[in-house]
Structure 1
């Protein structure tokens, strides 16, 4: 018995770590609360208890951490569990068996006591309870009977020794310590995995920063054997852009029918409109003893939309500003071209000679050259161009009056020829007008002497034109009055035209 106690104490820590990490220090919290009966029952205690449960044989612990064996359908096997009590008082432990499973972290666990087992947990038969003295250990045999119709593959289960600690009021806490019992039924073994992957893309508000991809994948053991795997996730944009491959979290142990999920976040992913994500997993044997034959790699893929929303908004805004700028530029160019065309039209209208009714002699052209521009604005006001169709009748009237006044004035004044010569010098038009006064009937016809150029008068004018010689004559009062009337009429017509333009 002393040798059994020594061996149990040496292996207590490893057995406790299998199911209840807090069992050595005291009573571990149960998976589900249960009611404390009014009378003492197996496994009910009122103080802290420390204990361990290890597999063994009829002599005690045999160094195994759990029971794992291969059996044919209908085969039966006897095993032993060793319950050690490290407390200072005798404790009665409750013994249970249940279906087993692996957690997401790869740790083995059993179904809670309030859930009924349906698989390998029902194949195990063991006593309801065992009493262990203080500081002692008890060896408890149990049997495993494989049904004749058991399906090939791995079937996890577990055995445990538990206590129910009394708490405040009518609530107690069940704590269990045990080990797993793995039974592999012979037959057609299949190592198969089913993968699934999903993902989403989250872009950055800053159009000059990349976004991130969040991938969630699931791996299900669709075969009938325990396996492990190390999934890989590959990403690629359109035409293989930004292709990369990353490793997912290793799955150390997954039983048949179980599913493991993993999450992978990829930062620094630019929005390339589309990403192809693929998860790949290959079944691997858990141990060298449990070989996996015919294992095939499986994969699944998904397309993830990665729209460059912030980049598109920035691009649209930039294109809008560019379109507005180009439109404003075209409008300014069109406006400038229109103003230039209007100025050219005004210039052509101003430089074109006016159309005069009737025959107009050189004198009319001379007088017209002295007239001020018709589109000249009055002093002190803006320059308003006069349209040609509005100015034509008024210009004819004024021009006719001025020509008549100039003709009468030339007939009445002997200095008219000199003024015409001066006008030619200003306008560059060489006009030669020779006017001979009518002979007096009462006077005697005498030859008119040819006037000689004065020594003080140039013999040629500008441009080589010979100036007209001055002619003498007296002032006719009637012609002078008629010329004044015509001049006054021309001025009045000009004033009327100006008023009409306003």
Structure 2
């Protein structure tokens, strides 16, 4: 029997912008088991009767609370579709994007608390079905933001380049933003700050700054960042076109690398990072700005060479002077002794 591999394809429609006035939509180009044409479907928040205008699911609750809501699943294609509906936890991708755990990964947070009334939904062509779901918050749930999403997924089969059968899951979803009451701690931290200077023998060079920003609090946060390289005499040069930090979910990280150009080799340089956190709308404590610094050696090779030449010249002149001083002078002439003799 041919081995079937599972591959998950995210259609990039979990972003809040795509879930605003229009539903999220996925199109499956090869769906022979479902329909001869492309299968197109989408999801959006809804009431018990019809889709509504919410861009996503946003809740505030206390530990132990139970939340009931609805998801609209729309089949935009002409043929019927059999779609899986499930919830999962969210995370930040390496580039700072928003994503949900793949279908094979078990959620442990809000994705595990949310249960749909029907895990598989049969949706006729050109039809929208309303799917109820319930979020049961544990009594010991921690305060702060818990983020996930609810998705509709279509599984089809295709043949891979190696001839094996491949199960392809195409999914679209709507985000969950749940804030549990309690002690809110909006906080970012900077980890692993490093700096490396590089430059030629003459003129200025550049300093590469790398660090990781962690959301070490319990509230989702973005941030405005500034990176500066300072010389020992206080002059500074900032990195140009440094983008803002993406919104980081609690305990998620984002790696930053930037290069500050036009830096003179001043012996040693200070790399400074400053971040002003940016919180989502709504009442919450103000997050404090954070700073970090690192020192890097920037050897001024031209100055070192000039000093070495001057030092060698001084040593040579001193050695030559000492040698002349200790050299023996010209020999003194022999004294002339006159001898007189008397003849009787």
1:153 maps to 2:144: yes
Tell me the distance in 2 between the aligned counterparts of 1:189 and 1:182. Answer: 15
Q: Deviations over 1:439-467 (max 9, x none)?
A: xxxxxxxxxxxxxxxxxxxxxxxxxxxxx
When the two structures are superposed, what TM-score results if normalisation uses the length of structure 2? 0.80
Tell me the distance in 1 between the aligned counterparts of 2:93 and 2:335. Answer: 107
8 Å CA contact retained: 1:193, 1:282: no
Tell me the distance in 2 between the aligned counterparts of 1:62 and 1:81. Answer: 10
Q: Deviations over 1:364-404 (max 9, x none)?
A: xxxxxxxxxxxxxxxxxxxxxxxxxxxxxxxxxxxxxxxxx
Structure 2 spans left out of the alignment, 5+ residues: 1-12
Q: 2:99 maps to which residue? A: 109
1:243 maps to 2:236: yes
Q: 1:46 to 1:145 in 2, by over 3 A?
A: farther
1:192 maps to 2:184: no
Residue among 100, 107, 123 paired with 1:132:
123
Q: 1:223 maps to which residue? A: 217
Give 3-state SS (helix, strand or coil) of 2:111's partner: helix
Going by fraction, where is helix more abundant, 1 or 2? Answer: 1
Q: 1:35 maps to which residue? A: none
Q: 2:264 maps to which residue? A: 270
Tell me the distance in 1 between the aligned counterparts of 2:341 and 2:255. Answer: 110
Q: 1:26 maps to which residue? A: 27
Q: Deviations over 1:67-91 (max 9, x none)?
A: 0110111211221111222223111
Q: Deviations over 1:289-337 (max 9, x none)?
A: x22314222222222222334642453245335644x368648x949x9
Q: 1:128 to 1:13 in 2, by over 3 A?
A: closer
Q: 1:122 to 1:25 in 2, by over 3 A?
A: closer
1:100 maps to 2:90: yes
Displacement after TM superposition at 1:338 (Å): 7.2
Give 3-state SS (helix, strand or coil) of 1:122's partner: helix
8 Å CA contact retained: 2:26, 2:41: no
> Who wins on radius of gyration, i.e. which is larger?
1
8 Å CA contact retained: 1:196, 1:279: no
Tell me the distance in 1 between the aligned counterparts of 2:216 and 2:17. Answer: 31
**Which has the bigger relative contact order, CA under 8 A and spacing at least 6?**
2
Tell me the distance in 1 between the aligned counterparts of 2:339 and 2:301. Answer: 75
Give 3-state SS (helix, strand or coil) of 1:142's partner: strand
Displacement after TM superposition at 1:161 (Å): 0.7
Q: 1:315 to 1:74 in 2, by over 3 A?
A: same
8 Å CA contact retained: 1:79, 1:142: yes
Q: 1:475 maps to which residue? A: none
Displacement after TM superposition at 1:25 (Å): 7.2
Q: 1:356 maps to which residue? A: 338
User: What does 1:193-208 align with in structure 2 at a 5 Å threshold?
Assistant: 193-196=188-191, 198-206=193-201, 208=202
Structure 1 spans left out of the alignment, 5+ residues: 1-11, 30-39, 361-502
Residue among 203, 217, 224 paired with 1:209:
203
Q: 1:311 to 1:47 in 2, by over 3 A?
A: farther
Give 3-state SS (helix, strand or coil) of 2:27's partner: coil
Give 3-state SS (helix, strand or coil) of 1:253's partner: strand
When the two structures are superposed, what TM-score results if normalisation uses the length of structure 1? 0.56
RMSD of aligned residue pairs (Cα, Å): 3.3
Q: How many residue pairs align between the two structures?
A: 318
Tell me the distance in 2 between the aligned counterparts of 1:201 and 1:307. Answer: 12
Tell me the distance in 2 between the aligned counterparts of 1:353 and 1:124. Answer: 123
Q: Deviations over 1:10-61 (max 9, x none)?
A: xx9988946xxxx8573399xxxxxxxxxx8xxx778642221111112322
Tell me the distance in 2 between the aligned counterparts of 1:328 and 1:296. Answer: 63
Tell me the distance in 2 between the aligned counterparts of 1:14 and 1:327. Answer: 76
8 Å CA contact retained: 1:84, 1:135: yes
Tell me the distance in 2 between the aligned counterparts of 1:61 and 1:141. Answer: 12
Q: 1:98 to 1:217 in 2, by over 3 A?
A: same
Q: 1:106 to 1:261 in 2, by over 3 A?
A: closer
Q: Deviations over 1:249-278 (max 9, x none)?
A: 312311111112211211122222222223
